[in-house]
Structure 1
Amino acid sequence: MTENDTITCEKFLPHPPAAVWRALTDPELHARWWAAGDVKPVVGHRFTLDMGAFGHQSCEVTEVDGERQLAYRFAEGTLDTTVTWTLHPEGTGTRLTLTHAGFDLDSPMGRQAYEGMGRGWPHVLERLDAALAGTV
């Protein structure tokens, strides 16, 4: 689902929040389902994600709330957007909400990124689920 300059995706993962958090914050696991990079859950930590054909994207962690929320600036200097991962325990699993906000829809690059990522994020969440299940 997309609204204004924000993409929001939600997925139930049949894995405990601690496992999901680890997949979001452990560089080795993160590389299995999305992109290689030295992500760490430390406010102010700067890292680069290797997005393959989309290049290297500079990021900076802006918010960490235990194993509940991780936010970082994404593609600083180009897209200048914010990616926020929010984890909600649900039964024995986790409801994960991804919010990707701040696209400049008046620029061709911002519009293209918004449309492409709006289609791509659901697939990324599927890969996260598969990585947690050990199939990736």
Structure 2
Amino acid sequence: MPPSNAGRVQIDRHVRHEVSRVWQALTDPTVHVEWWASGNIRPVVGHRFDLDMGAWGTQACEVIEAKPGHRLAYRFAVGVLDTTVAWDLRADDTGTSVTLTHDGFDLDTALGRQGYEGMGRGWPGVLARMDAVLSK
């Protein structure tokens, strides 16, 4: 039996920025493009949007959960990888604890394994870019 986290990438990171700034980075397209990808993201359940992932193409997404300042989750690469990206935020005395969970990779397929490995390698850099953008 595979481990319970099979097909899941999870990263915990602390940033020295208020929750409101991190939430803005996740939900404001003009900030989002600076650290990850362009797209018409909005924190509204049911909102469908596309993220331009450059060489990896445009990925269709749909918001499935939006709790301002706490949690944003969306289906990612709908019809391709069919995964879920969730951002959980917790304020603390020195900033915000961010937990990114990218879940649902089908490790029984070549595409699922490739996505899992690629995103697993890529997410730490994406989070570092978000922190750098917020530090400007």
What TM-score do the two structures reach when normalised by structure 1?
0.96
Paired residue secondary structure (1:3): coil
Query: Structure 1: which 5+ runs fail to align?
Result: none
1:47 matched to which residue of 2? 49
Matched, 1:119 2:121: yes
Matched, 1:13 2:33: no
Paired residue secondary structure (2:39): coil
Matched, 1:29 2:22: no
CA distance in 1, matches of 2:69, 2:41: 14
> Deviation per CA, 1:57-95, whole angstroms, max 9, x where unpaired?
000000011210000000000000000000000113000
Matched, 1:62 2:61: no
User: How big is the shift at 1:8?
Assistant: 0.1
CA distance in 1, matches of 2:92, 2:69: 14
Aligned residues: 133
CA distance in 1, matches of 2:68, 2:58: 27
Consecutive aligned runs of 4 or more in structure 1 exceeding 4 Å deviation: none
CA distance in 2, matches of 1:102, 1:84: 11
Partner amino acid for 1:5? G
Paired residue secondary structure (1:86): strand
CA distance in 2, matches of 1:15, 1:131: 11
What TM-score do the two structures reach when normalised by structure 2?
0.96
1:106 matched to which residue of 2? 108
Partner amino acid for 2:83? T
> Deviation per CA, 1:87-113, whole angstroms, max 9, x where unpaired?
000113000000000000000010011
User: How big is the shift at 1:3?
Assistant: 2.8
Paired residue secondary structure (2:98): strand
Paired residue secondary structure (2:38): coil
1:38 matched to which residue of 2? 40
Q: 1:97 aligns with which of 96, 99, 119?
A: 99
1:88 matched to which residue of 2? 90
Query: Structure 2: which 5+ runs fail to align?
Result: none
Paired residue secondary structure (1:41): coil
